[in-house]
Structure 1
């Protein structure tokens, strides 16, 4: 795969996480919802873990429906070139397939890991909402915050 720098079209961004179940799905959803005029977003994983139902739930609370998205590998994407590949977790950053050019890392906490000791549904939802909102802030800054 290669990176293409297309000035005429929207900036193509691949959000990459280990399982493409939560953080990368949230980022793709926010990008489609908030920045579709300037970003053509995709998400994928190093592995497929399935779409996380809590991610779907907290995004729906924020008015963004990601229920039609699904967990996928990079090889399954309909495009093969990206202006930017953004890894959202340490494991994906360390094991990311080679993409020449603009691969950057913007890590976020892993909600499933954060809630392992949770004792209530509200604790779980709080963790997912926190990460959802952090990812929203990051996506709102795109593509301007990306290195040229």
Structure 2
């Protein structure tokens, strides 16, 4: 494994890590860029300085999820007209940090970056789309995910 990679989910995001270089560009990567990574992108844009370039993508094609829009709107955030995009379709593939949020995304990032000088961190996150029940129960699962992602972003970037 090359230097700069962090496969340990527990170690990723530990605040106060003096050896961790400053990040100027972050990619959040999940399965379909429909739930986890767009939530992370929207939150990061609201929490990190505007000088940090932030993007998100998926390893497969996905469709926009209306529950994501609903929970982001509760926080005063929006994805605008943004549609899910695939990792391989990104115009700029260079990032200081790639945060993966699903096992398939983590493996894809490691395969794609090879020996490149990029940090890859795995932040495993639950998939709220598997939750069944009432609309409120489903929204609660999405809110829980949003809270988990926000906590990781604040820990990792001390935001």
Gap runs ≥5 in structure 1 = none
Q: How does 1:63-74 map to 2 (within 5 A)?
A: 63-74=76-87
RMSD of aligned alpha carbons = 2.2
Aligned to 1:103: 120
Q: Deviations over 1:101-130 (max 9, x none)?
A: 3111111101112x1xx2211100000000
1:141 alignment partner, SS class = helix
Aligned residue pairs, count: 136
Q: How does 1:27-42 map to 2 (within 5 A)?
A: 27-42=40-55
Aligned equivalent of 1:130, options 131, 138, 144: 144
Equivalent-residue separation in structure 2 for 1:29 and 1:36 (angstroms) = 13
User: Runs of at least 4 residues of structure 1 off by over 6 A?
Assistant: none
Aligned to 2:155: 141
2:134 is aligned with 1:120: yes
Equivalent-residue separation in structure 2 for 1:94 and 1:75 (angstroms) = 14
TM-score by length of 1: 0.82
Whether contact under 8 Å (1:111, 1:131) holds in the other structure is: yes
